[in-house]
Chain A
């Protein structure tokens, strides 16, 4: 079984500032890692995924995440945020052997202030 911890429930940040949303996971097996974004009144959209290879993964809208196996972390970063990045962000993990099921974190609400 896996678990995901998103350490910050809310992150306010000013426009054009950098941001990091933290995610730690726990698993006894190898995993795939994902970040999803949810805009108001919409479903979840995939931002990026880590499957294997380079630990730095680039996604849509200028976001990137780094997989750190020793720290079991998969933090999401953006060097300069826009008002339009205001949304809820979910980290998720799946077992490589049974990748159909995702375990989600509790989410981080990113609010970009003008």
Chain B
């Protein structure tokens, strides 16, 4: 089975540029999560979609961050404009809520460096 696929794996860009991170969840999963991981703050949930609808975006840091899920097989996380403090590893995870005990499956992450 293909797992959660994230692209790109690494992104280095200059401050002020727009950054778009992409995620393809596991086929058949209907919940999708975006996380950010840093040394200082650990693993933070940014936003959670269920059936393509954003359910909880309370973790999104500020208006510079936006996330979309146009269909069940694709999601994007966009940062515009980017700042050095956005440097982190961003993870996407998916799960199925057909059974409440289904764990989340994580992608390998996108390592983002803002110069």
Q: Is there contact, CB below 8 Å, between A100 and B97?
A: yes
Q: For the complex formed, measure the closest distance between the CB of B45 and the CB atoms of chain A, giving whole angstroms.
A: 7
Q: For the complex formed, measure the closest distance between the CB of A68 and the CB atoms of chain B, giving whole angstroms.
A: 20
Residues of B within 8 A of A49 (CB): 101, 103
How many CB-defined contacts (below 8 Å) exist between A and B? 48
Total A residues in contact with B, Cβ cutoff 8 Å: 21
Give complex CA distance A104, B42 in Å. Answer: 9
Q: Is there contact, CB below 8 Å, between B100 and A42?
A: no
Q: Which residue of A lies closest to B4 (CB)?
A: A43
Q: For the complex formed, measure the closest distance between the CB of A58 and the CB atoms of chain B, giving whole angstroms.
A: 16
Residues of A within 8 A of B93 (CB): 43-44
Known: A100-B50, A101-B45, A101-B48. A45 touches B101 (CB 8 A): no
Residues of A within 8 A of B102 (CB): 99
B residues whose Cβ falls under 8 Å from a Cβ of A: 4, 31, 33, 42-43, 45, 48, 50, 56, 91, 93, 95, 97, 100-109, 111
Given contacts A44-B91, A96-B100, A99-B102, 17 further A-B contacts (CB under 8 A): A32-B100, A34-B103, A42-B108, A42-B109, A43-B106, A43-B107, A43-B109, A46-B103, A49-B103, A51-B101, A99-B101, A100-B50, A100-B95, A101-B45, A101-B48, A104-B43, A107-B43
List the 9 closest A-B pairs by CB distance, nearest first: A43-B106, A99-B100, A44-B106, A106-B42, A51-B101, A104-B43, A46-B103, A43-B108, A100-B31
